[in-house]
Structure 1
């Protein structure tokens, strides 16, 4: 079967502001996000994907266009962001005060966002979309095909959890930063996870206690994925 390169969109102003953008229209890449997408394009230049697929949201389409090398970008609603419902547009600081926040952290398979989507539904439609397209590309291009799927942090984490055989309740243990690459190769017997959250950058953030504290505040995962370590 083919290999899918799961790519999170570049950084946005909403990521930096600590706002849960969700499906809010018009949220595009900031300057660092555009730089990250250009750097990612250079990293992927030697790869010739059979197709570049993207969430329809602007930040993903911008990232996908940057790495597509002139190829057509196909959008797929199965890769779109979680519908966070009434949480959309609110600050993460405020959301941490909600009772549901603790459930999101500890029992995500039981979460249904108010007036929005459940995380189980996110995983189901994202995994179905990835596996169906992977199978179709395998039939058309053969088992050596590679394709790009540009999406969002929680969506990619849900797909990775499925590939790793993890229960959804453990998916908050995964981190998916802006412009990161995670790679899954599906086979008839099992998926193989070849990379997770590969940003190809240096590890300088490990020297900074302040950044480590930001990443690990109260042990909570950042809903929506956060801004990563670039500042």
Structure 2
């Protein structure tokens, strides 16, 4: 059994100022973000993490290093396929300005039809990040030992991964909420993949990993560990 913790980076200076950061360099965690990363680190300290993988951007690496401090024997690996979407000419601009542009409506309702000027399309981003997740699952699912891999990445990236894992069309991914410093959990058992938890805060991580069922149940189950379909 392999589980991936999809960790959105803690709050950055761009989040605080309402800027679409994209891949702009020099975007770091602000003071609130540093505190969020610390709380995540404490929440994950007793979780038996076996892998740490991060987008190469500073805000993700800073969040990852905070968690990694409590897991000194696990190396942190950068994965460029988990980097933020390339928003092209929109990068670094205020969301309050961008939301008034004619493309905004399509971004919210039919993102599968959108490409950012001199940037990436949502379809390209979706294919890139979900292939990366498939690769991580394949890498860590070779043995029988339980594997828990923490992946530090970005809001739109995580939304696309969750939508794909649920079998949703990409156009539905804007209905998924992923807050800064939140954790969403995927589980792979054989050829089956489950979304165990989504957009949870630090204090809900351990219970999601330790209590939730690992297979679909008749009627949705009662939340107990023995409610699995046999």
Equivalences for residues 11-22 of structure 1 within 5 A: 11-22=11-22
The residue that corresponds to 2:102 in the other structure is 99
Does 2:189 align with 1:158? no
Distance 2:127 2:190 in 1: 19
What SS does the corresponding residue of 1:86 show, helix, strand or coil? helix
Distance 1:201 1:5 in 2: 14
Equivalences for residues 103-142 of structure 1 within 5 A: 103-139=106-142, 141-142=143-144
Distance 2:189 2:102 in 1: 40
The residue that corresponds to 2:214 in the other structure is none
The 8 Å contact of residues 2 and 142 in structure 1, kept in 2 or not, is answered as no
The residue that corresponds to 1:30 in the other structure is 30
Q: TM-score, normalised by structure 2?
A: 0.84
Equivalences for residues 207-222 of structure 1 within 5 A: none
What SS does the corresponding residue of 2:168 show, helix, strand or coil? coil
Equivalences for residues 31-46 of structure 1 within 5 A: 31-46=31-46
What SS does the corresponding residue of 1:99 show, helix, strand or coil? coil
Distance 1:107 1:155 in 2: 16
Higher alpha-carbon Rg = 2
Shift of 1:158: 0.3
Q: Report the count of equivalent residues.
A: 201
Distance 1:152 1:60 in 2: 8
The 8 Å contact of residues 22 and 81 in structure 1, kept in 2 or not, is answered as yes
Structure 2: gaps spanning 5 or more residues: 205-230
The residue that corresponds to 1:66 in the other structure is 66
The residue that corresponds to 2:183 in the other structure is 181
The residue that corresponds to 2:148 in the other structure is 146
Deviations 1:23-52 (A, max 9, x none): 001101000100000000111111121110
Structure 1: gaps spanning 5 or more residues: 203-231
Distance 2:203 2:117 in 1: 37
Distance 1:196 1:178 in 2: 12
Q: TM-score, normalised by structure 1?
A: 0.84
Shift of 1:86: 0.5
Q: 1:101 to 1:201 in 2, by over 3 A?
A: farther
Distance 2:130 2:49 in 1: 20
The residue that corresponds to 1:172 in the other structure is 174
Distance 2:145 2:21 in 1: 36
Shift of 1:187: 2.8
Shift of 1:190: 2.5
Alpha-carbon RMSD across the aligned residues, in angstroms, is 1.4
What SS does the corresponding residue of 1:94 show, helix, strand or coil? helix
